[in-house]
Structure 1
């Protein structure tokens, strides 16, 4: 009985120490939640780094087209807006299909969002350069 108990404890410890796959640490859900939290805290520089580089280029190009005096010019990260969620706490549930293998570069996943007020939405996450990025609907 004592050996069984020791075996169970060791098995539990090994399971607890098992490393997660790099595409799931953080996974798309965790990466999106981090983006929302950055926006909520006002850390738009960090949130800006969490969006897809191609989306950053679109934002930069759009800002170039604005004819604003230099003192009123916007920085790229200032163009970020979170649609549908004012705080990360507005989102009640985030679901996506399981990811069973390492994603290929450019692979996207659509996550279903359910808000506390009953609304539903979607967000697209893209695997690139070894991490998940938010793909803005630009």
Structure 2
């Protein structure tokens, strides 16, 4: 195995066409060289095989992009929900202080539960004329 990356790539470019993908993988033991050997191998195949290979690569990239989009959307939704819950807890805290009530932990409650509590406290304020 060649330790210097520049020498390794130079050797690869000089000798790759005389080596199989397996030989390249054994000699270099590096994913970058294995991928380069696979691409080189694919470029030497008939057009139909290359087209199928490119379609598979495109499908893989598309799937990765869809997954990343889903992850990003889930993160944004989670952040928005967290902010909404924090705001609701803040409003409830203020309403309880106004009504002279004792603070309770609201951390484990859902947004829907917090909304119900907030409405109940607002009704109490109206009933007291505050």
Q: TM-score range, shorter-chain basis? A: 0.3 to 0.5
Between structures 1 and 2, the one with greater strand share: 1
Instruction: Tell which has more relative contact order, 1 or 2 (C-alpha 8 A, sep 6+).
Output: 1
Between structures 1 and 2, the one with greater helix share: 2
Q: Which has the larger radius of gyration?
A: 2
For normalisation by structure 2, the TM-score amounts to 0.34
